[in-house]
Amino acid sequence: MGREVRILCAHGVPPEMQARLREEIGEVFVLQSHEEEEIIENIKDKQVLVVRSKPKVTERIIDNAPSLLVVARPGVGTDNIDKKACEKRGIKVINTPEASASSVAELTIGLAISLLRQVYTTCAYLKQGNWTKGKYTGRTVEGKTWGVIGFGGIGRRVAEIVRVFRAEVIAYDPYVPEEEFTQREVKRADKLEDLLTQSDIVSLHVVLNEETENLLSREALTTMKKGAYLINTSRGGVIDQEALYQVLSEGHLAGAALDVYQVEPPADQNFLCLENLICTPHIGGSTYEAFANATEILVRKLKAIFGEEEKEPIGY
Ligand code: NAD
C-alpha cells in the first residue's frame, strides 16, 4: 500500500491499532482530545478518520473534511457518527461488529454459570469471613432449555457453546432464514412468547431499535417461567429495567445478569444491589482478542477500499 493514505486517529485509539494502520495502510496522525475544534483543525487533508465510541463525528466535522473518504469505527455502535452527513458526501462508514462475537458470547456463558452457581454471592460472603457451604445450592446448564433472543453473530455463538453443555437451545429471530436454525440444530420459536414460556435461561442478543426497545416488558418478563434466569449483554434499552427490578424482587425470576443498562452508568443502587442480580460495566467486547480482531478486520476493510492499485494521492 502506498503512503498516500493519511489517517486521523481519535484520542483513545490503541497504540497497537495505530501501529498496524501505519504498517499496512498509510501515515497516521493522532488527536490529543475529543474536541471538535481539534478534529476540524487536523482533518482537512486526511482520507480516513478512525474513532471509537467517542468523539461525535458531526456534520460540521464532515463539512470541514474535503479529503475524507472513510470513517472507520473499530467496534459495533456507529451512533456517534452522523451517517446522513457521510452519505451525502459519499463517505463510507465501516465498523467491525464481528470482532467481538466470541468475547460477548463467552461473557454471556460466564455470567449464566455465575448466576446459576451464585458465584458472586458466595465469593462476597467468603471474603467477609463467612463459609456458606450448604446454604447455597446451585443449578446446572445441562438438561435445561436455553432461549436465545436475536440469532445474529453473538446469538449463534452462544447457541453453539450452550449445546456443548447438553442443553436444548431454542431461538427467536423473525429475520433469520429457517436453515440457519436447522443447520445448527436449534429449535426455532415462531413467537417470543413461545421462547419465554419454554426457557429456563434466556439470553438477549438483539440490536436496539424501535421494535426491540422494551422487548422484555413487564408482561414479557412475567411470561417467563417462574425461577428462570435472564442475561442481557446486548443493549440496556431492550429490557424494561423497572419491571425487571420488580420481577427480581418478587422472586418471579431466580436471577438476572446485566452487562448493559438503559442509562450508562446506571445510577439506581437499590436495583444494582439486589442479591439475585449480577452486574458488569459493559465489558462484553472488552478483551485483548476482540481489540486485536477489530484491528485486523479494519485493516482488511481499508485495504479493500484503498486497493494496491491506488497509488495516486486520494481525495484531491
Ligand atoms: P447482529 O446484527 O449480528 O444480530 C442481531 C440479531 O437481532 C439479528 O439477527 C436480527 O435479525 C435480530 N433481531 C432484530 N430485531 C429483532 C427482534 N425484534 N426480535 C428478535 N431478533 C431480532 O448483532 P450481534 O453482533 O450479534 O450483536 C448483538 C447485540 O450485542 C447488539 O445489540 C450489539 O450492540 C450488542 N453488543 C454488545 C457488546 C457488549 O460489550 N456488551 C459488544 C458487542 C455487541
Instruction: Give the CATH number for residue 142.
Output: 3.40.50.720
User: Looking at the structure, do residues 67 and 166 belong to the same domain, yes or no?
Assistant: no
**Average pLDDT value for the chain:** 95
Give the span between the Cα atoms of 310 and 111, in whole angstroms: 47
User: Looking at the structure, do residues 153 and 165 belong to the same domain, yes or no?
Assistant: yes
User: Looking at the structure, do residues 150 and 245 belong to the same domain, yes or no?
Assistant: yes
Give the binding-site residues of ligand 1, using a 6 Å CB cut-off: 76, 97, 100-101, 104, 149-155, 172-176, 205-208, 211-212, 233-235, 259-260, 282, 284-285
Going by the DSSP 8-state scheme, the letter that residue 145 receives in this structure is: E
Give the span between the Cα atoms of 263 and 268, in whole angstroms: 10
How many domains does the chain contain in total? 2
User: Looking at the structure, do residues 131 and 209 belong to the same domain, yes or no?
Assistant: yes
Inside any domain, residue 190: yes
User: Looking at the structure, do residues 108 and 88 belong to the same domain, yes or no?
Assistant: no
User: Does position 312 have pLDDT exceeding 50, yes or no?
Assistant: no
User: Does position 2 have pLDDT exceeding 60, yes or no?
Assistant: no
Task: List the grid coordinates of 127.
Answer: 471474603
Inside any domain, residue 311: no
Tens-digit pLDDT profile for residues 266-309: 999 999 999 999 999 999 999 999 999 999 999 999 999 998 54
User: Looking at the structure, do residues 116 and 212 belong to the same domain, yes or no?
Assistant: yes
Give percent above pLDDT 90 in the chain: 94
Q: Which long-range contacts (CB under 8 A, 24 or more apart) does 104-107 make?
A: 104/154, 104/157, 104/205, 104/233, 104/284, 104/285, 105/154, 105/157, 105/158, 105/161, 106/161, 107/233, 107/259, 107/280, 107/283, 107/284
- Residue 311's pLDDT band, with cuts at 50, 70 and 90, is very low
Inside any domain, residue 299: yes
User: Looking at the structure, do residues 81 and 217 belong to the same domain, yes or no?
Assistant: no
User: Looking at the structure, do residues 228 and 141 belong to the same domain, yes or no?
Assistant: yes
Give the span between the Cα atoms of 206 and 232, in whole angstroms: 10
Burial bucket for residue 125 (CB in 10 Å: 0-12, 13-18, 19+): middle
Q: Separation of 49 CA from ligand 1 center, angstroms?
A: 25
Say if residue 265 is preceded by a cis peptide, omega within 30 of 0.
yes
Output the CA–CA distances (angstroms, integers) from residue 166 to 140, 141, 146, 198, 309, in the order listed: 10, 8, 10, 16, 51
Q: Separation of 65 CA from ligand 1 center, angstroms?
A: 32
Angle at 175 between CA 171 and CA 180, to 5 degrees: 55
User: Looking at the structure, do residues 85 and 171 belong to the same domain, yes or no?
Assistant: no
Inside any domain, residue 275: yes
Inside any domain, residue 315: no
What mean pLDDT comes out for the span 82-106?
Answer: 97
- Residue 52's pLDDT band, with cuts at 50, 70 and 90, is very high
CB atoms inside a 10 Å sphere around CB 297: 17
Inside any domain, residue 316: no
What mean pLDDT comes out for the span 87-96?
Answer: 97
Inside any domain, residue 10: yes
User: Looking at the structure, do residues 45 and 154 belong to the same domain, yes or no?
Assistant: no
Contact residues for 224 (Cβ-Cβ < 8 A; gap 6+): 196, 197, 199, 202, 230, 247, 252, 253
Atom in ligand 1 nearest the alpha carbon of residue 175: 11
User: Looking at the structure, do residues 65 and 115 belong to the same domain, yes or no?
Assistant: no
> Which residue minimizes the CA distance to atom 18 of ligand 1?
212
| pLDDT number for residue 76 | 86
| pLDDT number for residue 313 | 41
Atom in ligand 1 nearest the alpha carbon of residue 151: 9
Q: Separation of 75 CA from ligand 1 center, angstroms?
A: 13
| pLDDT number for residue 14 | 92
User: Looking at the structure, do residues 221 and 257 belong to the same domain, yes or no?
Assistant: yes
> Which residue minimizes the CA distance to atom 32 of ligand 1?
207
User: Does position 16 have pLDDT exceeding 80, yes or no?
Assistant: yes
Inside any domain, residue 230: yes
Tens-digit pLDDT profile for residues 141-183: 999 999 999 999 999 999 999 999 999 999 999 999 999 999 9
Angle at 171 between CA 169 and CA 175, to 5 degrees: 155
Contact residues for 202 (Cβ-Cβ < 8 A; gap 6+): 146, 147, 149, 195, 196, 224, 228, 229, 230, 231
* Strand spans (E) along the chain: 6-9, 27-30, 48-50, 70-73, 92-95, 145-149, 168-172, 187-188, 201-204, 228-232, 253-258, 277-279
Measuring CA to CA, which residue among 209, 218, 232, 212 is closest to residue 147? 232
Burial bucket for residue 156 (CB in 10 Å: 0-12, 13-18, 19+): buried
| pLDDT number for residue 271 | 97
Atom in ligand 1 nearest the alpha carbon of residue 211: 18
- Residue 314's pLDDT band, with cuts at 50, 70 and 90, is very low
Q: Note down the domain range covering 57.
A: 5-99+287-306
Q: Separation of 234 CA from ligand 1 center, angstroms?
A: 6
Give me the active site residues, please: 235, 264, 282
| pLDDT number for residue 79 | 86
Going by the DSSP 8-state scheme, the letter that residue 98 receives in this structure is: G
Give percent above pLDDT 70 in the chain: 96
